[in-house]
Amino acid sequence: MAHTTSTLKACNDTARGERSVTRKHNTDNSMRIKNHKTQHNSSEISAPSPSKGSHWQVESGCELLSFLVAKLPQQSGTSIKNQLKHGCIRVNEEIVTKHNHALNAGDFVCVVSQRESKYGLNHPKLRIMFEDDYLIVVEKGSGLHSVDTTGKGVENACGLLESYIRRRSPQKRIYVVHRLDRDTSGVMLFAKCREAQNRLVADWNERVSERRYIAVAEGLFEPKAGTIDTYLYEDAHKVVHSTNDPNRGLRAITHYQVIEAHEDLSLLALELETGRTNQIRVHLQSIGHPVVGDLKYGATDNRIGRLALHAETICFRHPITQKMMKFESPVPVEFGEIMRDER
């Protein structure tokens, strides 16, 4: 699909073309381990320029995490993984986020502060996964609002990102494309210009080819896979309800698949055909299996102290470059821990 120069200019007068997406994400969770090996030709790698952080040259091949544990004995494995997550570890001047990244003899490893990391946004509940001239893809933590709908100035992802980009370009702003509930964690995207926002919103169902969520729900499912197809409406108290009456609400379709089940809990993968407010939470409540921690929608189990719902994957066609892009956020460790507790 062709785009005129004026269209691109509407997004960013200084756009410098497409940037490739190489960021992938891993998790220790045994349910979805993925191995991405990266090879480096050490004969083509020169020593990095001096850095304010610590840096070493690798003497023999090993995994990145074991190397860092040996070099940083004063830090816990959790602390090191947190630095990986926030883009503070570089291998041969490339940011690496995978703890099992394979190191080769001759590689250079550097640890920098979060202020020196790739994007410069330092917040415990918001991490930038990708940014170009038109989009920002982020990983949002549970408890952080996507936007401020209260009018009370509550901290929110959109506001944090707007402050971040205005440090470089005071006239810039962030445009909302979709939202995650405050207590849902995971991957979401924002636009950096009106044109990108308009294209994404107008063609959302056509542009987004995959939206996968992971949840821990109460009870055991039968059947193990299925589709929930109802109509949702919101009452005066901001509580969403499910009905089979098409005259009372908007159609909502959720597909689910049980990944693992033990005792009275089920780990689910869910995919959406629609994106209604509280859709997954209300749909699971409607079939008698509320999301763990969802006290608003009937949960009795709150053992992890948060909503056990996570936006794991989004795959979409870029609104300007038309490239297919896929981003994944690791499943929170608490989800795996409570499933293991049930074995």
Which phi and psi (to 5°) does residue 286 adopt?
Answer: -65, -20
Tell me which of 107, 132, 133, 181 is the catalytic residue: 181
181 given a catalytic annotation? yes
The answer, yes or no, to whether the previous bond of 223 is cis (omega within 30 of 0) is yes
DSSP state of 49: P
CB 111 within 8 A of CB 55: yes
The string of DSSP codes covering 176-199 is: E-----TT-EEEEEEESSHHHHHH
d(CA 309, CA 289): 13
d(CA 161, CA 157): 6
CB 216 within 8 A of CB 308: yes
d(CA 76, CA 28): 16
Label residue 97 left, alpha or beta by phi (over 0 means left) and psi (-120 to 50 means alpha): alpha
CB 68 within 8 A of CB 109: yes
Catalytically active residues, by annotation: 181
